[in-house]
Structure 1
Amino acid sequence: MPDEHSQRARRVSVGISALLALALSACSGVSSVNVDSNPDKPFVLDRVSNLTEIAQLTGPGAINDTASVAVAGTDLGSMINVGDRTYFLFGDTFGERDPDSIGGQGGFWRSNVAAWTTDDDPSDGIIFDGWVEDEVGLAAALSEGDHDANGAGGEVTKIPSYGFAIGDTLYVSYMSVRFWGEPGAWDANRSALIVSRDDGQTWTPVEGVEWPGDSNFVQVATLPVTEGGTDYIYFWSIPSGRFGGVQLMRVPATEKAVERQVSYSYFAGTDGETPKWSTNIADAEAVVEGTIGELSVIWSTYLDRWIMSYSDAGSAYVREGVTPWGPWGEPIELVSGDDYPGLYSPYLNPRYVSDDGRTIFFTLSLWGPYNVFWFSADLERVAS
């Protein structure tokens, strides 16, 4: 990141407020949003304002000492809340990098790593309390990729897209990448889950639960949702790469259900206002058309709407949803690729908002420095 970016004024400290509608669960640190299936409410998001780059989270010059855990370059940064902790999930990570390196390259390659924090003030950046570490105290892969050669037909890497918690149990959804193609295009073998039952220190595969690499359920954004009195984890899902639309699936929010493939169902349209769910993946219907890159979804109490962030054609966007399956409004630019070339993966977290949800904080990856940065922006409602 150029020096002038890192010298931008940081926001003054602001209080953190919960974005989700229900009370915070003491055991998991997340709350479940009740679904209102009425599709006829108006759109209320007009624009975003006051975009601010607050801090660099990883790499040389960051507010966190990531060199001490051999993290010189990394990306992504989706988040899981459990109790008072938030886990940050990073993708391909390199412990050694030439200062002039561009993108994902370097030595001491791990396919995925994770940091955690109890920092509840996002206004001045996020300070990490610790990492998932190996036996010598360096950032360790949660589930290492095979690191086969690109194009060899095996597994190049395992990239985490998102995670969620059931009580104190942590789950991470990852994609097994087979081939990196042109910018924004890659092929996957499958997507699958790993699980940790010891505060993220060790991870094991969830056997028998996976989705085909050519399906629309390779990269996901998750959120706890209550529908019809039942608690679910919702997965807004896209294919591998950044050139597909969004489909939606759900699973009951229990460990038993999460770890059984037959428990998952797919949004298959509506019957009036009532959503239809099918256990057949072929019945899944798009909820957002377009070319959606790495995405996240949260509930905005400020807007009383769902909001989705993602990257598309080199910029980051946000759009509002009346229900989880739509209608979804037109995309509104969140961060311009002209100002931040090589940006991707704008990830929101319901824990990191302020001003009654008007101000949102999010991670953003920049390809040039190949590291993760912390931003904020204000949501502006349509004038009443």
Structure 2
Amino acid sequence: MTRTGSILLSALAGASALLLMATSPATANPNAINPIPVLNGTTGLPNLAGRSRAIFQMTGMASPNNTQTYNVLGTDLGIMWDNGHGEMLTAFGDTAGFGLPNLLAGSAWAWRSNILLRSHTQDPAGGIFFDSVVRDVFGQARDLIPSPKIPFLEISRIPTAGISADGVQYMSLMSVRNWDDVGQWSTNFSGLAVSGDNGETWADLPETRRPNEGADANFQMNSFLKNGGYIYEYGTPSGRNKAAYVARVRESDIANLSRYEYWDGDRWRMNDVNAAVPIMGGVGELSVMYNDYLGQFISLTTDPFNSVVLRRAPSPAGPWSAPEVLIDTRELPTAYAPSIYPYQTGRDLYFLTTVHSQYNVVLMRTTL
């Protein structure tokens, strides 16, 4: 690193330390973080004594992926999906790096809201390694969908789900208006963005937006599942500790909101978002997948105590089982947003989890 870079690193680390207000994973402002190892009080992978193990750091300066080389010092979420051709795409959310600080948004770092990395790793036992990243002209990871990052207008545009439909890539993103109390935030809307070139460029689809009002408020954060010719969209209101709902649509109609069907607890109701009933409660960021080993659908999320939990169901709509704790909040109180690895791995379940105290994403493994 050059002397200028070292000076900048010291200055930004010091500024971030002043902003680091708490180790809670849901502080009102996720910009208030420090992703520099040791200086943020963390070293190495979390040491978990329960059912799950931390096996690989995906992002940050302590990661074998060396994401700092494209200016990703800290980031969150890590939403994975297959692009339809055996390559895994991973969208990350609010991302800190060097550059002009975004002080208006409360950050001492240069801040991006949504970035994308690619991987061909098929066996995650030794970690997940990235092959490429969507970059700007300076070689840095760049925003896919721009955001003004102005409080009470749109402070961030954050990906919550991704899927390939008929060979085209789709992301669901939420427009965050402002960070509120711990674990809560206000959104303007959620909506889809589309890419026809494997995630290199993206176009916003305004016609898919769900405003944060009425029953559409129940689909501000989403998770996708592909099954039986349908894409299932699991939705929750913005924030954590909320109810989850489910809709479905034919793969070819993913961008047509009028073709979505909503589960009313008994049957699917076409184009009637008001019919959707809760299918589970106490949910934060959600990830859903069919698991071959169990022969059941599984979901991961955090519960009201901020433990990472798993539920099982015989069908996409449920009924969903009581939650099983995979990571107890007493082991890792700053974990959030578990996301399931999109390929089958037998009895071992791999998933990504953000660790807010170091503001980076870690690969976890649990035995089913």
Shared fold per TM-score greater than 0.5: yes
Q: Secondary structure at the match of 2:209?
A: strand
Q: Secondary structure at the match of 1:269?
A: coil
Question: Following superposition, which runs of at least 4 residues in structure 1 exceed 2 angstroms of deviation?
Answer: 1-9, 275-278
Structure 1 unaligned blocks of 5 or more: 10-48, 98-103, 380-384
- Distance apart, 1:267 and its partner CA: 1.1
Match of 1:334 in 2: 326
- Distance apart, 1:92 and its partner CA: 0.6
Match of 1:281 in 2: 273
Letter in 2 for 1:292: V
Q: Is residue 304 from structure 1 mapped to residue 295 from structure 2 by the alignment? A: yes
Q: Secondary structure at the match of 1:286?
A: coil
| Contact 1:95/1:106 (<8 A) preserved | no
Distance in 2 separating the partners of 1:362 and 1:319: 14
- Distance apart, 1:166 and its partner CA: 1.3
- With structure 2 as the length reference, what TM-score do the two structures score? 0.82
Taking only aligned residues, the RMSD between alpha carbons, in angstroms, comes to 2.0
Q: Is residue 84 from structure 1 mapped to residue 77 from structure 2 by the alignment? A: no
The percent of aligned pairs where both chains have the same amino acid is 32
Letter in 1 for 2:274: A
Distance in 2 separating the partners of 1:343 and 1:291: 16
Distance in 1 separating the partners of 2:46 and 2:223: 32
Q: Is residue 365 from structure 1 mapped to residue 354 from structure 2 by the alignment? A: yes
Query: Does the C-alpha gap of structure 1 residues 243 and 8 become closer, same or farther in structure 2, counting only changes over 3 Å?
Result: closer
- Distance apart, 1:341 and its partner CA: 2.1
Q: Secondary structure at the match of 1:365?
A: strand
Q: Secondary structure at the match of 1:61?
A: coil
Relative contact order (alpha carbons < 8 A, sep ≥ 6): 1 or 2 greater? Answer: 1
Match of 1:96 in 2: 98
**Structure 2 counterparts to residues 207-286 of structure 1, below 5 A:** 207-214=206-213, 215-226=217-228, 231-254=229-252, 257-270=253-266, 275-286=267-278
Q: Is residue 292 from structure 1 mapped to residue 292 from structure 2 by the alignment? A: no
| Contact 2:46/2:54 (<8 A) preserved | no
Letter in 2 for 1:323: S
**Structure 2 counterparts to residues 1-384 of structure 1, below 5 A:** 5-6=44-45, 50-82=51-83, 83-96=85-98, 105-149=107-151, 153-214=152-213, 215-226=217-228, 231-254=229-252, 257-270=253-266, 275-288=267-280, 290-312=281-303, 313-351=305-343, 353-354=344-345, 357-379=346-368
Q: Secondary structure at the match of 1:216?
A: helix
- Distance apart, 1:261 and its partner CA: 2.0
Distance in 1 separating the partners of 2:51 and 2:176: 36
| Contact 1:264/1:279 (<8 A) preserved | yes
Query: Does the C-alpha gap of structure 1 residues 105 and 339 become closer, same or farther in structure 2, counting only changes over 3 Å?
Result: farther
Letter in 2 for 1:250: R
Distance in 2 separating the partners of 1:61 and 1:5: 7
- Distance apart, 1:335 and its partner CA: 0.7
1:291-327 CA-to-partner distances (Å, cap 9, x unmatched) read 2000101111111111110012221000101221111
Indicate the structure with greater strand content.
1
Letter in 2 for 1:244: K
Distance in 2 separating the partners of 1:283 and 1:327: 17
Letter in 2 for 1:126: I
Distance in 1 separating the partners of 2:134 and 2:81: 14
Structure 2 unaligned blocks of 5 or more: 1-36, 100-105
Q: Secondary structure at the match of 1:123?
A: helix
Q: Secondary structure at the match of 1:294?
A: coil
Letter in 1 for 2:294: L
